[in-house]
């Protein structure tokens, strides 16, 4: 077997966390075809305990929410699938590396696909919480003109599980991809420059300022600069009630990409 392919197949996910989008896992097998293969594997080997739709069975818990007792990271899932959980009905499965990745890809797709229906809160109240907490100052939700500091949330429910949404609200620094690293710089004439770093090459930065303005900055014009790898979003831990948090998560999970057929019809 090719050495590089062998590493990709069997390297634990944690070692790959920074390979593509910051701390977002770069799974080597996560295409729609891989998800389909993972679904077949799930039905044949996992559904008896976890239910045909992964929402739980007589023996196994639900895998639909993304909240797992033995850890929710890809590394933890890889470990549970390949090593099992001592003292439980979860035994190790003799799958090769590719099959494990495909199974993880399917589980992640289920986490996202079922997020809205699994959410505990009220999406309508969650929209109110979105507005009350001034989330629109930094984000747009597809309904109103929002800010440019944070990502567009118009279809965030199509890309994030419930646990990922909760983590983003309570621990925003836990997973900040390079697309949302910031530039903080001072020019040689004393001007302060800040913005989201969109691109960087040997001679310049391209940034988006808080106003939404796109700007190129020449490195030769700078007296100093740093790349800020933390999130500009403040943590809402201890600042939002449990009920409002559940409602906000339900609302974000409900923000979905329109089916292609609907988009084409417009």
Helix (H) or strand (E) holding 262: helix 260-265
Distance from C-alpha of 147 to C-alpha of 170, rounded to nearest angstrom = 20
pLDDT tens track, the chain, 266 positions: 443 333 333 333 333 333 322 223 456 888 889 999 999 999 999 999 999 989 888 889 888 877 788 887 888 899 999 999 999 999 999 999 999 999 999 999 898 888 888 889 999 999 999 999 999 988 888 776 678 888 889 989 888 888 889 999 999 998 787 888 999 999 999 999 999 999 999 999 999 998 889 999 999 999 999 999 999 889 999 999 999 999 999 999 999 876 544 444 44
Sequence spans of domains, the chain: 3-113, 123-172+238-265, 182-228
Cα(134)–Cα(142) distance, integer angstroms? 15
d(CA 73, CA 253): 19
The two structure tokens encoding residue 17: 């966390």
- pTM here is 0.64
Burial class (CB in 10 A: 0-12, 13-18, 19+), 237: exposed
Report the largest interatomic distance among the alpha carbons of the chain, rounded to a whole angstrom.
Answer: 69
Token pair belonging to 144: 């109103």
User: Looking at the domain 3-113, which fold is it?
Assistant: Cytochrome Bc1 Complex; Chain D, domain 2 (1.10.760)
The neighbouring-strand residues paired with 224 are 186
- Return the CATH architecture of domain 123-172+238-265: Orthogonal Bundle (1.10)
CB proximity list for 129: less than 8 A, separation 6 or greater? 240, 244, 247, 248, 251
Looking at CATH, the fold of the domain delimited by 182-228 is given as SH3 type barrels. (2.30.30)
Q: Residue 69, Cβ neighbours under 10 Å: how many?
A: 10
Torsional sign, CA 123, 125, 131, 135 = negative
| d(C-alpha 77, C-alpha 104), whole Å | 7
Q: Do domains 3-113 and 123-172+238-265 have the same CATH topology?
A: yes
């Amino acid at each position: 077997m090719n050495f590089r392919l062998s590493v990709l197949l069997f390297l634990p996910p944690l070692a790959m966390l920074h390979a593509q989008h910051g701390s977002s896992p770069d799974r080597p097998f996560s295409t729609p075809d891989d998800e389909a293969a993972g679904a077949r594997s799930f039905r044949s080997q996992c559904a008896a305990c976890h239910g045909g739709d992964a929402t739980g069975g007589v023996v196994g818990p639900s895998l639909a929410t993304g909240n797992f007792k033995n850890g929710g990271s890809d590394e933890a899932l890889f470990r549970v699938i390949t090593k099992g959980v001592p003292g439980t009905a979860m035994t190790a499965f003799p799958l090769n590396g590719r099959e494990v990745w495909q199974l993880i890809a399917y589980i992640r797709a289920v986490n996202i696909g079922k997020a809205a229906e699994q959410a505990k809160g009220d999406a309508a109240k969650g929209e109110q919480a979105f507005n009350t907490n001034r989330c629109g100052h930094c984000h747009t939700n597809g309904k109103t003109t929002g800010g440019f500091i944070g990502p567009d949330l118009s279809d965030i429910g199509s890309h994030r599980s419930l646990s990922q949404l909760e983590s983003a609200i309570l621990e925003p620094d836990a997973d900040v991809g390079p697309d949302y690293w910031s530039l903080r710089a001072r020019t040689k004439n004393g001007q302060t420059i800040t913005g989201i770093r969109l691109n960087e090459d040997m001679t310049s930065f391209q940034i988006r300022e808080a106003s939404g303005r796109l700007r190129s900055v020449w490195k030769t014009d700078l007296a100093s600069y740093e790349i800020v790898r933390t999130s500009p979003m403040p943590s809402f831990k201890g600042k939002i009630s449990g009920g409002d948090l559940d409602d906000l998560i339900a609302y974000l999970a409900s923000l979905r990409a329109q089916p292609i057929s609907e988009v084409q019809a417009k």
